[in-house]
Chains A and B, each alone.
Chain A
Amino acid sequence: MLAVAGLLFLLSGCSFNPLSDPKTLIQTPELPSDKQTLSSVISAELPEGASIQSPKSGNTSRIQTVDLDGDGTSETIVFYQTTNGRINGMIFEQSGDTWVKQLDINGAGFTLESVEITDITGDGRRNLLVGYSNDTAGSENTQKTLVVYDYNNGKLTKETDIPYSYYETIDMDGDGINNLTTMTMNSNPDYVSVTVYNYNNGFKKLDSIDLNNIVSAYNVVAGKVSPDQNGIIMDQALGKSGFSHLFIMRNGRLEDAFQLSRQATWKDLQIVSEDINNDGILEIGMLEIPAGWENIAPVETPMFTNYYQWSGSGFLEKLVSQQYRDEEGRFVIKIASDWMEKITLDTKSNKDKDLRFVLKDTGEKVAEVRFFSENEWNNHNGDWEIIAENRGQVIALWENNKVNIIQN
């Protein structure tokens, strides 16, 4: 006791307060020695006042280490902003345990939009694709410039620079080599021009289409759109609603797969197209009014979100996933594939209280999502499984175990 008292007395008397708040002792862990070396080399080479930049989109790592020229040793690419706001870059070559600056990259703007490292020319060497812009306000539709560099034998060659709003590097023409596809928004008049390039001693335009009345896109994604077709999906915003374009190349021609995309892909909410079921093929989301709710005010209607894959036609026909997605992002109910299209919601359901999933043909209740207050939850009975908890509210799911309409 005496010892403890003495300890505490002496400790509290020290000018250096040892019982400081633990959180002030939080410290970033050290980097491994090789990365420390790299860091210090970069800092040494960095012009005074400059700060290393993270790309606004894509891979946001500030320092990327890859084998750019395919010579078996790694290169490190760094972009930084100088004191006058310009974006410049540096390439370092690994040399034993340390790094040596190989060259400077003179950038073309004030904002680093993206840095992508991929082979776009088909020569086996990876290219450096850097998006620059002069935007400082962070708006989506600013005019950007994509510069494609080729790095070989310690030299950086600028292959091209193309204005763009969005770009994708995916094999569009099916020759096994990535194509550069740019989507460029234009205003007055509003239209977007989509252009596919391939590389043959310089970037050559393969094909191009213009789409009218496009103001902005809320999502652009590229990848497989059917098992043997690559494509780019651009989700276009119109107010709070949206519709989707699917750009594919067929027979050497670039086309929008949905001739009447506004009708074919219209949704009242902006649903992001993505590979929702992780099968490697992109899906386009649509909203479905549950059967029986057609005459009820749309704001009250709990909507199903249906994800379709493109089946080659001008319409979305191949439903791969039916989901009920809570508008506030609290939970997602996925309908098992055997039961898709066979389920609706009882019209007594309320989006924020109680959702009763019933069979379309018999009206039998097969699942229910209910919102419990904490008090109700403590006194609940029945076989409920918590699917979300938030601020004293418990959202729980009941499921008819004989039917199992919910995908786990």
Chain B
Amino acid sequence: MIKKGMTRQIVLHYFLVVFLTILLVEMVFLFAIRTYYYDGISNYLQSSFDNTNAPTNPRDLISTYTLDKAEVQVLDLKGNVIQNSTPFRLDKPIQTGDIPQALTGSTGRWIGKQAGTGEDVMAVTRMIQINGDKSYLVRYVTSLELVNQKLFYITLVSTGIGIIILIVVLIVSVGLANSIVKPINNIINVSTLMAKGDFNVRIKGNYPHEIGDLASTLNYMADEIVQSNQVKDDFISSISHELRTPLTGIKGWSETLVSGGFDPEETKLGMSIISKETDRLIGLVEEMLDFSKLQQNQMKLVMGEVNMKELLQETMLNVWAKAEQKHISLSLQPGERPFIVYADGNRLKQVFLNLVDNAIKFSPDGSTIALMITEMAPDKVRISVKDPGIGISPEFLEKVKDRFFQVNPNQGGTGLGLAITQQIVKLHEGEMHIESELDQGTTVSVDLPLLDNQQQAG
């Protein structure tokens, strides 16, 4: 027996559908066959009436209408048997359903059990008029035993065939069910392994349709998990590195200072380096805090009206020093009118600081980074940061916004910058787009909803 499960269910469904189909078809078939035989017989008996000319003498009725094998009876209109083709007289009048039918002038047909023997018989009766005057009923009686025997045989054969078909269908349906269930079982096995943490297994085999989709989706998922694990590992190693570098500086200088014997100038230098490295550490930790807040939707925005031009100018001032180091010039195209956005100014500034900082980081010395404010739609403003830097290859373009992702993990940083930027923009119901071409530069655009015009006026 097939064990519980989808195979059994599928087989059962097939079985049920085919069984019902066969049952109905056979019922219709057997009914048609039965009708065919019964009608065939009664039509043959009727045709004997049609093809026989009534004799002129009622005595000759029996011999005129005699028919091979069927019993012929001649009845008066009350049903009394006057003559019949058996050697015996029938004393009792006949009162079966064919008599009244025949008396109305049509051909009477009756199927039932013969009185006395209980045999299944068919009687076909018609009224015959002799010389246009006296009428008699001529009645054919035939046993239906042979027909019923034949019908029984046909029923047996067709039932047998039905069972054979069912068995064939069952076998085929087991095969069919297996073709569905086997891949699913395979997928279940593989996904169980995955659930236990083994993401290196893959679903093998080329399955069609939905199952194939399911398999490739699972495989893709495993790939993604492996990759994100890789990203996480990279992050941990890079963050450790990031944390260790300032700590090394702090530890070195603090030990040096503890040993004493330095002049105040040197001590001041050492202390300022310690302070700077501490700031760097704080920055790193804050970035990570921000990110985890964003991840948990715990970031609170302090909303207010923000003039984008002013915000960008502030941003530019903040990165001025860094840009100067690389001889990079920053330009601002502030647009025709002031664009006021309802936003958290500090967070937005963080966004643009990050973007401009990235632009400076990946741009060659002496280049220009352009900041542009453009009106997108009556209620939308776009701020673009365009750099002529190294650009991002298309394969990484989608992933740069992912957390911990870094095109080059060895360059330092947490890989959280763009992810945080993206989250903040999203919190402001804005969108961020990155267009880039390798070695040609990158343009990052942030679209923000404008404060309602009327509100602005008011």
List chain A positions with a Cβ less than 8 A from chain B.
Answer: 1-4, 6-7, 10-11, 14, 18, 20-23, 25-33, 35, 39, 52, 54, 57, 59-65, 325-326, 329-332, 387-388
Contact = CB atoms under 8 A, between A and B. Distances in A.
A274 to B, nearest CB: 10
Contacts of B36: 22
Closest 5 CB pairs of A and B: A22-B40, A32-B116, A329-B131, A62-B87, A331-B132
Contacts of A329: 56, 130-133
Contact of A22 (B22, B41, B89): B41
Nearest to A278: B134
Contacts of A62: 87-88
Interface in B1-49: 21-22, 25-26, 29, 36-41, 44-45
Identify the interface centre among A4, A54, A62, A326: most chain B CB within 10 Å of its CB: A4
29 contacts: A3-B161, A18-B150, A18-B153, A18-B154, A22-B39, A22-B40, A25-B41, A25-B147, A26-B70, A29-B119, A29-B121, A29-B141, A30-B145, A39-B87, A59-B89, A60-B62, A60-B83, A61-B88, A61-B89, A62-B87, A63-B88, A65-B88, A65-B89, A325-B131, A325-B133, A326-B132, A329-B56, A329-B133, A332-B132
Nearest to B147: A25
B142 A27 contact: yes
Interface residues of B, number: 50
Interface in B43-98: 44-45, 56, 59, 62, 67-71, 83, 86-89
Contacts of A1: 25
Interface of B: 21-22, 25-26, 29, 36-41, 44-45, 56, 59, 62, 67-71, 83, 86-89, 114, 116-117, 119, 121, 130-133, 141-143, 145-147, 150, 153-154, 157-158, 161-162, 164-165
Nearest to B24: A3
Contact of A23 (B44, B87, B154, B165): B44
Contacts of B45: 26
Contacts of B38: 22
A52 B38 CA distance: 33
Contacts of A7: 26, 29, 157-158, 161
Contacts of A10: 157, 161
Contacts of A31: 86, 88, 117
B142 to A, nearest CB: 5
A63 B71 contact: no
Identify the interface centre among B36, B38, B86, B114: most chain A CB within 10 Å of its CB: B86
B132 A23 contact: no
A387 B37 CA distance: 34
Given A11-B158, A35-B86, 16 more contacts: A3-B21, A3-B22, A10-B157, A10-B161, A25-B146, A26-B41, A26-B68, A28-B70, A28-B142, A29-B141, A29-B142, A30-B119, A33-B117, A64-B89, A329-B56, A330-B132
B40 A21 contact: yes
A31 B67 CA distance: 18
A104 to B, nearest CB: 18
Nearest to A64: B89
